[in-house]
Amino acid sequence: MHSVVIVDDKEMMRDSIAATLRRAGMNVLPAASGAAAIELIAKDRPDAVITDFKMPEMSGVDLLEKIREIDADLPVVLMTAFGTIETAVEAMRLGAYDYITKPFEGDELLIAVKRAIKHASIVRENALLRASSPDRSAVSASNHGGLKRLIGSGQARRRGRLQG
């Protein structure tokens, strides 16, 4: 079961989003402020975060920057009623996975969250695969592409037909 932190200073919006995500089988961690969200994220390590853009004390962009300090790969979906191209570009530049404008349909939000979680899963899987595979550049540097070692010294090579 995936867990999602919902950050919005308006209780009705948090409850509405929570209901939509719970119906989709997700665990919901509501937060009324950026500070409360940071505590939840540090403690519970959710799969994604949905945050309002405009909140008192800590904006969604400020929260996004703090989240990046905790977890560079945690997907964040920013939502706002004050959407402009400039704010969307700024959010994406700072590392938001997606940006949706209010009002939105529940399905639109679900699609954004599911895509964000899937993307983060692929990023983690790729990082694990890279960490577990040998460093190919070291192999290439030590044997000039590995061809001599792979081809060996059979008759065709000795006759000069295959040059390594």
- Reported as a single tens digit per residue, the pLDDT across 79-124 is 988 767 787 787 888 888 998 888 888 899 999 999 999 988 888 8
Q: What residues form DSSP beta bridges with 27?
A: 3
Residues 75 and 118 in one domain: yes
40 and 12 share one domain: yes
The pTM of this model reads: 0.75
- How many domains, in total, are found in the chain? 2
Read off the CATH number of the domain in which 50 is found: 3.40.50.2300
Same domain, yes or no, for 34 and 93? Answer: yes
Together in a domain, 23 and 94: yes
Confidence grade of residue 157 (pLDDT, cut at 50, 70, 90): low
What is the separation of C-alpha 41 from the centre of its chain, rounded to a whole number of angstroms?
14
103 lies in the same domain as 164: no
Task: State whether 120 and 152 are in the same domain.
Answer: no
How far is it, in rounded angstroms, from Cα 110 to Cα 23?
10
Q: How do residues 57-78 score in pLDDT, each as one tens digit? A: 899 989 999 999 988 889 999 9
ω into 56 cis (within 30 of 0): no
Residue ranges making up the domain that contains 49: 3-132
Question: Where residue 20 falls among pLDDT bands split at 50, 70, 90?
Answer: very high
